[in-house]
Amino acid sequence: MKNLTFANGDKLPIIGLGTWKSKPGEVKQAVYWAIESGYRHIDCAAIYQNENEVGEGIAEAIKAGLVKREELFVTSKLWNNSHKYEDVKPALKTSLADLGLDYVDLYLIHWPISFKRGVGFPETRDDFYTYLDVPLSQTWEAMQAVKKEGLAKHIGVSNFNQEKLREIISLGGQIPEMNQVEMHPYLAQKELVRFCREKGILMTAYSPLGSPDSRNESHKNDPVLLKDPVIELIAKKHGASMGQILIAWSTARDIAVIPKSVNQGRIKENLAASKIKLDQNDLMELDDIGVDFRFINGKFFTGPQSPYKLSDLFE
């Protein structure tokens, strides 16, 4: 399988297992199955509230002799309520304890916005900090400190637009090594991808299948990526599933991709997408797909009670 390479030569397997929305009781088994199937890249986050089970799955796979710790690439993310300098290291330590690990391979600032300590999701204006209260520079300084200490091998960000990336780069220290954002043919993020390439920032695509498990009442009118006729035709041409085509689209762009599944067959199928080679015609058709849509719209962070605007999150 293709790898992405960090500046120091470390490798990131381009396809990983996503664990967002993997329910307790399911994610431990999913992680074990993934490692058994050949995955070496697992993507986690504190706010997913399942890192302890992810850790159990990793521990069982290591105990079974399927893998050594150093062969795995594990990502975690700093939640918005731990952006103060003094809160970053304890937050990472909690994730490490839950995961049963001494270090993570990659630690990301999950969103470029800040809540008060102890707030999971804000309900009132008082639950938020502003950029004046906790500037991103303070959080990034603490991220660099945990990297120096060896608690994270690499550091980066998630859901950062060009403006926020420029702000971090202008500080003159370590530049973010990764930016993880929503990406699929309906949201190709071309300008952001170009910017990150120019700056030497690797990228990871989340919700690469269009977040099909988000179809609640408020999303009932969203377009369905996995029913798109263009993708369906390309899938038939390659004898592949539509999900595999969407994963192959990211790998063709040299962007890491983290499809989530707790189904053993689907987990294997997603990894097998690494063998699919889309041709120029496929890529051109996906490029001209004619739908522009963001599934994770950030409105839950930018409502009337919030000091943040959508422009703080997205281009």
Which residues are catalytically annotated? 48
Q: Is 207 helix (H, G, I), strand (E, B) or coil?
A: coil
- Of the candidates 66, 57, 10, 19, which has an alpha carbon nearest to the alpha carbon of residue 38? 66
Q: Give the span between the Cα atoms of 154 and 110, in whole angstroms.
A: 14
Is the four-CA dihedral 313, 289, 276, 264 of positive or negative sign?
positive
CB 6 within 8 A of CB 149: no
Burial class (CB in 10 A: 0-12, 13-18, 19+), 155: buried
Kind of pairing between the strands at 73-78 and 104-109? parallel
Q: Give the span between the Cα atoms of 291 and 199, in whole angstroms.
A: 28
Is the four-CA dihedral 121, 144, 253, 247 of positive or negative sign?
negative
Whole-number Cα distances in Å, 67 to 92, 253, 267:
23, 28, 17
* CB atoms near residue 72 (< 10 Å): 18
Q: Give the span between the Cα atoms of 137 and 171, in whole angstroms.
A: 7
Give the tokens for residue 26. 């399911």
The DSSP 8-state label assigned to residue 87 in this structure reads H
Q: Give the span between the Cα atoms of 200 and 178, in whole angstroms.
A: 9
110 annotated as ligand-binding: yes
**Residues that constitute the known binding site for substrate:** 110
Could you list the residues known to form a binding site, using ranges.
Answer: 110
